[in-house]
Structure 1
Amino acid sequence: MARLTIRLPDELYDRLAADADAAGVPTAAFVRDALEQLNGADPFGFHARFDELHSTVIQVLAILASDVGARAPKSLAKGMEDTRRLLLDRGLIGAGDLPALGEGASS
């Protein structure tokens, strides 16, 4: 069996030892169980909540873009061109990922 040594703040170790004692298992077994449960898991649901928030933001922006496009198509085209440039500058998209935008966009 492999061995792993880690340094923990005293407060964290004391909490682990107390939890292990309450569970009636040695501290090492308690930590092994915790690591096995967390392996590949998202225990706090962070990614699921982030995906939900991301989806909501995309929906809101789509509604806003639709409204702006109906009211001021040139403003929408300019905003889309600015967005495309920012995404390209940050390496979040490649030059071929989005089609070039048409008339009405000025930089």
Structure 2
Amino acid sequence: MIKINVRIDEALHARLQRRAHDADLTLSAFLRRVLQQGADPANGYVFSSQDEILATCIQILSIVATGIGQQSPKALQQGMADARAILTERGLLGRENAR
């Protein structure tokens, strides 16, 4: 097996550690899987392979949010705050966007 050394900043390291922990993997095992996925030509381009699913989810959630906002703006506001907190906690939303 070949060993690769890569330098990353502390914030990226923390996010990767969190994702590995959430997947119940060591950081090395998690990164090996990420690299395998990125190198697999059958998976398509690693940064866009889930774009269609993501776009559909965003459309559905937008429709739901619009309906909830029309019925109860306060419930929509609370739901958005809860979602931001969860996304931030999981490292999926930058701290600057968590407001």
Give TM-score scaled by structure 1 length. Answer: 0.47
- The CA deviation at 1:42 is 3.2
> What is the percent sequence identity of the aligned residues?
37
Provide the residue aligned with 2:67 in structure 1.
67
> Are the equivalent residues in 1 in contact too, given 2:43–2:49 (CA < 8 A)?
no
> Are the equivalent residues in 1 in contact too, given 2:65–2:76 (CA < 8 A)?
yes
Provide the residue aligned with 1:80 in structure 2.
80
Per-residue Cα deviation, 1:56-107 (whole angstroms, up to 9, x for no partner): 0111001110111011111111100100110111122222114x3xxxxxxx
Provide the residue aligned with 2:41 in structure 1.
42
Name the CA distance, whole Å, in 2 between partners of 1:97 and 1:42.
Answer: 33
Name the CA distance, whole Å, in 2 between partners of 1:95 and 1:49.
Answer: 26
**Cα 1:89–1:44 shift into 2, 3 Å:** closer
Which structure is higher in helix share?
Answer: 2
SS, match of residue 96 in structure 2: coil
Give TM-score scaled by structure 2 length. Answer: 0.50
Name the CA distance, whole Å, in 1 between partners of 2:49 and 2:94.
Answer: 28
**Unmatched segments (≥5 aa) in structure 1:** 1-39, 101-107
Supply the AA of the counterpart residue of 1:77: Q
Q: Give the count of matched residue pairs.
A: 62
- Choose 1 or 2 for highest CA Rg: 1
Supply the AA of the counterpart residue of 2:70: A
- The CA deviation at 1:44 is 4.9
- The CA deviation at 1:50 is 2.0
Name the CA distance, whole Å, in 2 between partners of 1:63 and 1:42.
Answer: 34
Within a 5 Å distance, the mapping from 1:5-24 to structure 2 comes to none
Supply the AA of the counterpart residue of 1:71: Q
Runs of 4+ aligned structure 1 residues displaced above 6 Å come to none
**Unmatched segments (≥5 aa) in structure 2:** 1-38
